[in-house]
A and B are shown apart, each in its own frame.
Chain A
Amino acid sequence: MAEKLLQVSGVSKHFGGFTALAGVSLDIAQGERFGLIGPNGSGKTTLINCISGLLRNESGKIVFAQKEISGLAAYQRTRLGIARSFQVPRPFTTMSVLENLLVPSAYVLHLKDSEGETMAMEILKSMGLADKAQVRASQLSQVELRKLELARAMAAKPRLLISDEAMAGLAGNEVDEVLEILFELNAKGITIIMIEHIMQAVMRFSQRVVCLDAGKIICEGTPASIVENPDVQKAYLGA
């Protein structure tokens, strides 16, 4: 196995009396395409919120690139190289698409606007958003918003990209478009965690898949073995 980029060990999180995560441990290798699946409410988003820093884990350790990051604020983790997209797109609505990308370019990479714009335009081109650069983010369509989420995450030049249901609610050909983008990013050496409900997309994309249920990992393996696993079938379809 290649060098470990992210090590999560024994991470727990409660909301009041509800256990969202109960001692989750997983390792992700540099350059890996990793799939995270599980039924609604199984703790997928809580887990990535703990990794990206929007939530703090109550116990356990999160190590990124040999550095313990559990105590860091979200913006500091982004600066270390963890970028994410949001399940429900959260664009900066009063800014243009280009300006949206200038936020991470200025705050993460500390680029001047002129340098940031050059980089941002390249990213937008690679995602097919170049002609929308000057459009206000509030005027984008669903699929464009999903792409903007990914484009903005990329403008932070991350080592790890967490894609939280980037394809939910998209049509078949749009799913393929977004998948294509993610494959290209991975080919450039970016490690990707994909959280997705669209099984066919996760299975095509991931080298390794973990299934969460009720805050615990119930199984881990290749996409093919996950589909066959009786626990996974039970979690998704009920007994």
Chain B
Amino acid sequence: MRFWIGALLLAIAAGALAVSGVNEYFFFAAYVVITYIVLATAWNILGGYAGYVNFGTPAFFGSGAYAAVVLFQALGAPLVVQIAAGTAMGAALGFGVGVMTLRLRGIFFAIATVAVVFIMETLMINWRYVGGATGLQLQRPEVMAPFATYARMLFFVMTVMAIAAVGIARYIQTSWVGRGLRAVRDSEEAAEANGVPTLKLKLIACVVSGGLMGAAGAPMPMYLSFIEPASTFSLNYAIGALAAPMIGGTIHWLGPVIGAIVLASLQQIVTVTISGEMNVLVVGVLLVLFVVLAPDGILGLFKRWLKSSSR
């Protein structure tokens, strides 16, 4: 209950911020940070809870973005419908990929998910309707009241999506599904021998994770007024979605949120103050530091600090 009151307050605050006089650039940057919260939270459901490392984030993200573009091009569908379609597309891809690859373990699963990214990218490059390799310019519709600009509206929409994503991840973590996924991560054979329907649980995780990633991708074309395959299926999304939970902590739903805020904000700052190339380096350096020095992430560090100070 406390969680949902907090979530409601956060959504109201985001709405108030979006109609306030804050500088436009803030929303432009914050949108990206919040997108990473959704991606990292989604990634953690399969990668953190179940221990299945997924490098396919761009495939799910991109499938959501392209689903939105197709609906927008064909029917002029409103944003809500685009997001619903992106979610459905991501979830469907999650199911397909899950059925085909979830029997693979460890590194083999990870490699298979990388392949999915290239398959999706190649498909889109060769599809003229959505602009092929050169991409497609999109004419944004009128922004809806009470928002003054599209970036402000998208900021609010993305915040609501992030809250929903975190709520879903939290539900999974604390429900019967969460314990089963942890059992899978610790020992899949033992989980199966103790009555856990491992394949079914992994599929649930993959579908939910893929659906959320698809949802995160759906507003992207409207945000940029443009879509093209190379940047939509960029492996930077895969690294970011994976690095944020690693940095924040994978065991708890709060981990990916903290990690995404720290990482993506830092990247935004570096992009503006130093260069766009340097921001990729930031991810690499932070990821290595955390994997080596704090494998349980910021949450793990915090827990250790709590323990040592209570002694």
Contact = CB atoms under 8 A, between A and B. Distances in A.
A54 B189 contact: yes
Nearest to B185: A94
A89 to B, nearest CB: 9
B197 interface: yes
Contacts of B286: none
B196 A94 contact: no
A104 B192 contact: no
Of the four ranges (under 10, 10 to 19, 20 to 34, 35 or more), the interface on chain A belongs to 20 to 34
A170 to B, nearest CB: 20
Interface in A28-53: 52-53
Which of B187, B192, B193 has the most chain A CB atoms inside 10 A of its CB?
Answer: B193
Contact of B194 (A53, A93, A108): A108
B176 interface: yes
A106 B179 contact: yes
Given A90-B187, A92-B186, A73 B192 contact: yes
A85 B187 CA distance: 13
Given A106-B179, A107-B180, A78 B186 contact: no
B196 A75 contact: yes
A176 to B, nearest CB: 26
B194 A103 contact: yes
A217 to B, nearest CB: 24
A197 interface: no
B191 interface: yes
A106 B251 contact: no
A93 to B, nearest CB: 5
Contacts, number: 77
Given A92-B182, A94-B182, A95-B182, A103 B187 contact: no
A104 B183 CA distance: 10
Which of B183, B185, B197, B251 has the most chain A CB atoms inside 10 A of its CB?
Answer: B183
Contacts of A62: none
A86 B193 CA distance: 9
Interface string B156-186: 0000000000000000000010011011011
B189 A104 contact: no
A197 to B, nearest CB: 21
Contacts of B21: none
Contacts of B197: 73, 75, 107
B187 A92 contact: yes
Nearest to A94: B186
Interface of A: 52-54, 73-75, 78-79, 83-84, 86, 90-95, 99, 102-104, 106-108, 152-153, 155-156
15 contacts: A73-B197, A75-B198, A83-B194, A91-B186, A91-B190, A93-B187, A94-B185, A103-B179, A103-B180, A103-B195, A107-B194, A107-B196, A152-B190, A152-B194, A153-B194
